[in-house]
Amino acid sequence: MAPVIEARKLGMVYPDGTRAIEGVSFSVEEGESCAIIGPSGCGKTTLLFIFSGLLRPTEGIALIEGKEVVAPPKNAALILQNYGLFPWKTVIENAALGLEIRGVKARDARKAVKPILRELGLEGFENHYPKQLSGGMQQRVAFARALAIKPRIMLMDEPFSSLDALSREKLQNFLLELWMKERMTMLLVTHSIEEAVFLGKRIVVLSHRPGRVVKVIENPMAGSVEFRNRGEFFEKCREVRRSVGAT
């Protein structure tokens, strides 16, 4: 079976001459999860933007479900690094936006996202504006918006980086359970080694800018909540830390 997400020698040079990534190749199979880890500024966000159809790579091809990405894929949800929320929309309006854009009536869309907001601990904040929320709450709203459209592919740019330790683990567990239930394909950018090991069945380590693939680490044990407490988890973390340190 063809991989759902595939990068073929992707390269990106910004118009101002900044070379963000170079010759990046990797792939993710249907229903699998892949974590991308690399130092700050190495082009992780750039890579995700390419797969979201928001940027065209200057070299190589990005494929989703075997087709070159030329527009935002309909069955993929993107969670942005700085939340990507709209300051002029309330929490519930932000969360329901993906559904609305897919043609669901505003009222139904809001009804549909209510349980998701509850699950993410945002009940009671439906009519707040993002500015009125702390950073972590904003990130959770962004997460709610992505989940609302029940995506088959999730592209995530450091989705938990603004969350406190407890909420983060809770949300990681929540995401993992969701993934095991829905079996959507996940591409997750992170700079937390623990997060990469906990959530990524495959871990792609990028070098400093321009980002290149240093190593692809297979991590078949990922995919259960208990993995976090096992010795193998710490083992894997150490392995990834070594690769990251080598960049």
Site residues, other proteins (CB under 8 A):
49, 52-54, 72, 74, 76-78, 80, 82, 84-89, 97-98, 101-102, 129, 131, 145, 149, 155
Compute CA 20 distance to the chain's CA centroid, rounded to the nearest angstrom.
19
- Indicate whether 18 belongs to the interface with ligand ATP (CB under 6 A): yes
Closer residue to Mg ion in complex, CB, 68/164: 164
- C-alpha dihedral, 111 to 141 to 179 to 69, nearest 10°: 100
- Indicate whether 25 belongs to the interface with Mg ion (CB under 5 A): no
Q: How far is the CB of 183 from ligand ATP (least distance, A)?
A: 27
Binding mask 168-187 for ligand ATP (x = CB under 6 A): --------------------
How many contiguous H segments (helices) and E segments (strands) does the chain have? 7, 10
| Core vs surface per residue 32-70: b (16+ CB within 10 A) or e | bbbbbbbbeebbbbbbbbbbbbebebeebebbbbeeebe
Q: Which residue is nearest to Mg ion (CB)?
A: 45
Q: Choose which of 31, 41, 53, 84 interacts with a copy of itself (CB under 8 A).
A: 41
Binding mask 143-172 for a copy of itself (x = CB under 8 A): ------------------xxxxxxxx----
How many residues touch a copy of itself (CB under 8 A)?
30
- Indicate whether 136 belongs to the interface with a copy of itself (CB under 8 A): yes
Alpha-helical runs (H) found in the chain: 44-51, 91-101, 106-119, 135-148, 165-182, 193-199, 231-245
Which pair of tokens denotes residue 71? 């527009």
Q: Measured between alpha carbons, how far is residue 92 from residues 21, 59, 82, 115, 123 in Å?
A: 36, 39, 18, 11, 10
Q: Choose which of 45, 82, 161, 247 interacts with Mg ion (CB under 5 A).
A: 45
Q: By CB under 8 A, what part of segment 52-91 binds a copy of itself? A: 81-82
